[in-house]
Amino acid sequence: MNSEKLMNEAKLAREKAYVPYSKFPVGAALLSESGQVFHGCNIENSGYSMTNCAERTAFFKAVSDGIKSFKALAVVADTDGPVSPCGACRQVIAEFCDPSMPVYLTNLKGHVLETTVEQLLPGAFSKEDLKYAEGQQ
């Protein structure tokens, strides 16, 4: 699965978005180490804060199916430039992916920003930080 195909999968995922409030559909496609693709869309709620972003939907689907190793992520929205994942999603991406894993941020015009997990959230809080805290007790 190349990056073009993964970005196309993200577009297909975007079509499933449930966005009656923002009217801003987002799609994500998460490629597992074994070649499976997990689609994610944003899912909103009348209680706005319960909204789940497309990226986190894709990760939570994969992890709940027992998959925790990933090769690439693509995200798409109808933005002016490449879509920018929110802070919560950046933290979830950092939890499950190598810092060097490629992330393809794109839009419907075909602008693509190829970035990495590390670039999206430099200095992410991680399980290593929790280990330090254990040692202090």
Known catalytic residues? 55
The answer to the question of residue 28 lying near Zn ion (CB under 5 A) is no
18 binds, among Zn ion, ligand DUR, none (CB under 5 to 8 A by kind): none
Closest CA relative to residue 105, chosen from 55, 32, 53? 55
Q: Return the bridge partners of 104, or none.
A: 74, 114
Q: For ligand DUR, what does the binding mask look like between residues 83 and 112, x meaning CB under 6 A? A: x-xx--x-----------------------
CB atoms within 10 A of CB 91: 16
Binding of residue 82 to ligand DUR (CB under 6 A): no
Query: Based on CB atoms, which residue is closest to Zn ion, 17 or 53?
Result: 53
**Euclidean distance between CA atoms 28 and 53, whole angstroms:** 9
CA–CA separation, 64 and 78 (whole Å): 28
Minimum distance from CB of 133 to Zn ion (Å)? Answer: 26
